[in-house]
Chains A and B, each alone.
Chain A
Amino acid sequence: MSLKLSAANTFLIEVKLKSEFNDAEGAAAMALLREQGLSQLKDVRMGRLYEITGALSANQAHQAGKELLCDAVTQEFRLVPAAPAPVNGMNFWRVEVWLKPSVCDPVGATVVEAIVEGGLPKPAAARCGMLYLLNGRALKAQIEKAMAKSLANPLIHHVVATEAHS
């Protein structure tokens, strides 16, 4: 879904805690994934993803990420490039969990409203997803299975697991 950002006005904004902060959500996610058999995980960091489609320019998407979606003290953000370069090695995984298009996304709807209230053009749509950055030996199939049993529900979620990228 999000990794193939070919449409001209679709931006993927990634927000996560700065590395110096303890990531309690990531630790909880790691515990759940370990319970599901990913016993070799050493670390999990969590983040939020916002896929914004519509009338925004790259600068405006950057502004939305900086001023609206990110807490400048504890978090950092970036616009994920359309064709990210993978990080080598199989010990780093990037897992995105998105609501399926047929499922209501209240956070996404709120992001649209907030962008408008922030003085930017109204996006056509915004979807919110969860990001899990996994550090540890695992196979893609194992990750997908563990996610389906713990952090994602295949009925409403779409999971994209890829080798981590820059």
Chain B
Amino acid sequence: MNQLAEAAADSLPILGKSPKELRALSNARHLSLSDAEWAAIQTHFKILKREPSLAEIETIAQTWSEHCKHKTFTSPIRYSEGKKTRSIKNLFQETIVAATMAVKKPWCLSLFSDNAGVVAFGKKWALAFKVETHNHPSALEPYGGAATGVGGVVRDILGVGLGAKPVLNTDTFCIGRPDYKGALPEGSHHPTRTLRGVVAGVRDYGNRMGIPTAAGGIWFDDDYRLNPLVFCGTVGIMPQWAVKKEVKPGDLIVAVGGRTGRDGLHGATFSSANLGADAPSSAVQIGHAIQEKRVLDALLAARDKKLYGSVTDCGAGGFSSAIGELGADCGARVRLENAPLKVSDLDSWEIWLSESQERMVLAVPPKSLKALEAVFAAEGCELAVLGEFTKTGRLEVTHHDCVVVELDMKFLHKGLPRVLREAVWTPPIVAKVSGGLAKKPGEALRGMVGHLNVCSREWVIRQYDHEVQGGTIVKPLQGVRHDGPGDACVIWPHAATGDMTDFSCFAVGHGLNPDYGRIDPYWMALAAVDEALRNLTCVGADPARAALLDNFCWASPEDPKQLGALVRAAEGCRDAAKGFSAPFISGKDSMFNQSKDEKGKDLAIPGTLLISAVAPVPDGRAAVTMDFKGPGNSLYLIGRTNDELGGSLYHRILGRVGGEVPKVSPVAAIDGFKALHAAMTRGRVLSAHDLSEGGLALCAAEMGFAGEFGCLLDLDEVPRDPRIYSNETLLFSESPSRILVEVKPENESAFLRHFGKGAKSAAVRRVGQTTANPILKVTGLEGSTILEESLKELKESWQTALPKVLG
């Protein structure tokens, strides 16, 4: 080693340097290493009696980045709430993992240890689901950032177990309002441009790979104008035998797919920093979907021939992360000169750290190499043997016989110092509702349907191919004209299973509402889980078999208030998982989503939690859509309405603040969902739609204009807190766990039987009926008509709002 010490050009002297000097080095090289981390590195190399090489420091920085090690969620926290203070050793273990272990679901096949979570799907198959964020790259280059976000999450699915076939992509965006008129700092993109770019990026990558994009959402809020959030998800299907993977010493390290270039350097460390004007352009890339499709086809063919023992994707940190992770328990020896390059003038550390897209790394028994080469050659996909896995417990990397990295795997993966962080949470005082004059219900409803967070997403959805693979049986747009807002999509993966006689399907739904989090992130988390599960229930998925994914996007966790809110949200997830008996199977966090605004002040995003949920639909032929199916049918409301307008769309429309944020009772909620699911499987339900933003009024309007039938609602029949005397509260409250259901008159008794004994705590009551005339008519508590609106006009406002602001 002492080639390393001797190779002065490649070494990076750090021993004896002051924290200030190391901070400067960190900034200059975009390493995002903290003082404590530098101290640990100095101590390690002092013991080794040598300076580290540049490649070693880069490897450590990538491996210890927020992106790879999730330092916020795994570091100790001193949490103060009011006068009480307690210690949290590991937030992730104590919330997400603990709840998942507590609910113990035998159908969970792989949790938190692989590139995605995996659940059983029938007896032979398994579903893998992962949602990633690609926020910082998308802020810099919306098209490339979103496209490579899709590419990255698709590779996660290819790299879970021995590889799954992607059958669904999802996309959720949180973006500044497209009609934002204020100033922006130099170098940032206007939200309209960001929206156009990210939609195009998701479209081009997903469509070109032949994967349907059929679920997701958009949330507009000006606090995202500098830090847009781009959540890309993929569901894959794989045989259950392919869930387990194993690296054996002696296996060859084989890189497949794209060539390595200078693009994408420092993507992982970039995620550990606030977004600013000095962001490296190398952190942004343009994806190559056709290349990834070749990798996909070759990889799955090789999997079925059992030609490799393990696989992972080259994501953040490139070869350094991928090989470092695969060889973490044994060791690895790598010869960088074997890597196929895009350009010949790459330095050793650049080859090692490059995040060039569309690459995967496999652990291949030597006897299988020839057959593997043939499979990849048939798909026109490049393959190179970079080295082998060893028993040494060390990461050894050479380039033309020069040692560039020689690190102990234990130090690399377990040497990260855990720094105690302070978190403070001040419980919210329920403020009395103030501000904003009341509007007539009809006027408020008209404002709501045209609100950007509610209006039609058709402009986005129509750009995506949601039909490719031919299995999207409940589509994102529903109703007689295929333009109503669906709750969730249902996928029949027959193209992957090859079985046209098995009608087992799965549904994917989401929950997200940062406005609730502004009041209390704990209840935001519960509401998001509740929303995701009721969306699934509405299309016929089994809520008792739902698996959850969490994606936290937060501002700087170094701010105790931000971290306090994050702890609250994580604890909300824990209680939701336990209450709904729904395990988390995967998740991801993205921190430091804050930037300097045009005045030089920090602009933080609102703490944001996206919950994604997947559940089987036992028979896709019994799936349900949200549009009214005919006149004269009864409308039942499941779930109780409370005075919960805090953070609601109604308050936003009126400019009001304060009020109670919606509070979830998971046990009562899941009883109602299960009862509804049972009724659906027996064909008792014609349509179902969840009540979310805009409450009962908006839900009924959407069901009406999607089906082109009207309805009569009687607010006095709404199951509710008896203290409510306000029609507006009953119409617009966003109390969770509620679903409006259409039932044929002859099926009413059978439908209600499902809500008997087994679901005592679920409130269900007939609140009206559908009509032939496409009018939404509501009778208030006092018995007179308080709202009568043409559904045609409401639909027009709903459909034109987004295209209008996009120009």
A-to-B contact residues, CB < 8 Å: 31, 35, 99-100, 102-106, 109-110, 149-150, 153-156
Contact = CB atoms under 8 A, between A and B. Distances in A.
10 contacts: A103-B263, A103-B286, A104-B261, A104-B288, A106-B286, A106-B291, A109-B288, A109-B291, A149-B193, A150-B193
Interface stretch (B277-285, B515-523, B611-619, B694-702): B277-285
Interface string B203-246: 00000000000000000000000000000000000000000000
B281 A100 contact: yes
| 6 closest A-B pairs by CB | A106-B288, A104-B263, A155-B281, A104-B286, A153-B141, A156-B141
Contacts of A109: 288, 291
Contacts of A105: 286
A155 B284 contact: yes
Nearest to A100: B281
A155 B193 CA distance: 15
Given A103-B286, A150-B193, A155-B140, 20 more contacts: A102-B263, A104-B285, A104-B286, A104-B288, A104-B356, A104-B357, A105-B286, A106-B286, A106-B288, A106-B290, A109-B291, A149-B190, A149-B193, A153-B141, A153-B189, A154-B187, A155-B284, A156-B144, A156-B281, A156-B286
A106 B284 contact: no
A117 to B, nearest CB: 10
Interface in B770-807: 807
A35 B285 contact: no
Nearest to B261: A104
Interface string B351-384: 0000011000000000000000000000000000
Interface string B20-33: 00000000000000
B807 A106 contact: no
B149 interface: no
B287 interface: yes
Contacts of B357: 104
A155 B261 CA distance: 18
B287 A35 contact: no
B399 interface: no
Contacts of A103: 144, 263, 281, 284-286
B807 A31 contact: yes
Contacts of A153: 140-141, 189
B545 interface: no
A51 B252 CA distance: 39
B78 interface: no
A99 B357 CA distance: 16
Nearest to A157: B141
Contacts of B263: 102-104
A103 B357 CA distance: 11
A154 B141 CA distance: 9
B561 interface: no
Contacts of B284: 103, 155-156
B807 A102 contact: no
Nearest to B147: A106
Contacts of B285: 103-104
B262 interface: yes
A3 B670 CA distance: 66
Contacts of B282: 102
Nearest to A35: B807
Contacts of B281: 100, 102-103, 155-156
Given A31-B807, A149-B190, A155 B141 contact: yes
Given A155-B141, A156-B141, A99 B193 contact: no
Nearest to A31: B807
Nearest to B262: A102
Interface in B399-438: none
A105 B190 CA distance: 25
A128 B293 CA distance: 21
A99 B190 CA distance: 21
Nearest to B192: A35
Nearest to A34: B807
B807 A110 contact: no
A35 B196 CA distance: 15
Nearest to A150: B193
Nearest to B208: A106
A99 B281 CA distance: 12
Contacts of A104: 261, 263, 285-288, 342, 356-357
Nearest to B285: A104
Interface string B112-147: 000000000000000000000000000011001000
A110 B144 contact: no
Contacts of A100: 281
Nearest to A155: B281
B356 to A, nearest CB: 7
Interface string B269-307: 000000000000110111111110000000000000000
Contacts of B144: 103, 156
Contacts of A154: 187
A156 B282 CA distance: 9
B404 to A, nearest CB: 22
Contacts of A99: 286
Contacts of B193: 149-150
B551 to A, nearest CB: 25
A162 B730 CA distance: 63
A154 B144 CA distance: 13
Nearest to B265: A102
A165 to B, nearest CB: 28
Nearest to B258: A104
Contacts of A35: 807
B289 to A, nearest CB: 8
Nearest to B289: A106
Nearest to B197: A153
Nearest to B280: A155
A65 B285 CA distance: 27
B141 A110 contact: no
A58 B537 CA distance: 64
Nearest to A109: B288
Nearest to B288: A106
Nearest to B357: A104
A149 B281 CA distance: 17
Contacts of A156: 141, 144, 281, 284, 286
Nearest to B287: A106
Interface in B56-104: none
B801 to A, nearest CB: 19
Nearest to B263: A104
Nearest to B143: A153
Contacts of A102: 262-263, 281-282
B339 to A, nearest CB: 16
A46 to B, nearest CB: 15
A36 B751 CA distance: 58
A31 B803 CA distance: 14
A149 B189 CA distance: 7
A150 B192 CA distance: 10
Contacts of B289: 106
Contacts of A106: 286-291
A114 to B, nearest CB: 11
B588 to A, nearest CB: 24
A151 to B, nearest CB: 10
A158 to B, nearest CB: 11
A31 B262 CA distance: 35
Interface string B332-361: 000000000010000000000000110000
A27 to B, nearest CB: 12
A155 B285 CA distance: 11
Contacts of B187: 154
B754 to A, nearest CB: 52
Contacts of B190: 149
A55 B291 CA distance: 24
Contacts of A150: 193
A71 to B, nearest CB: 19
A159 B484 CA distance: 42
Contacts of B342: 104
Interface string B127-171: 000000000000011001000000000000000000000000000
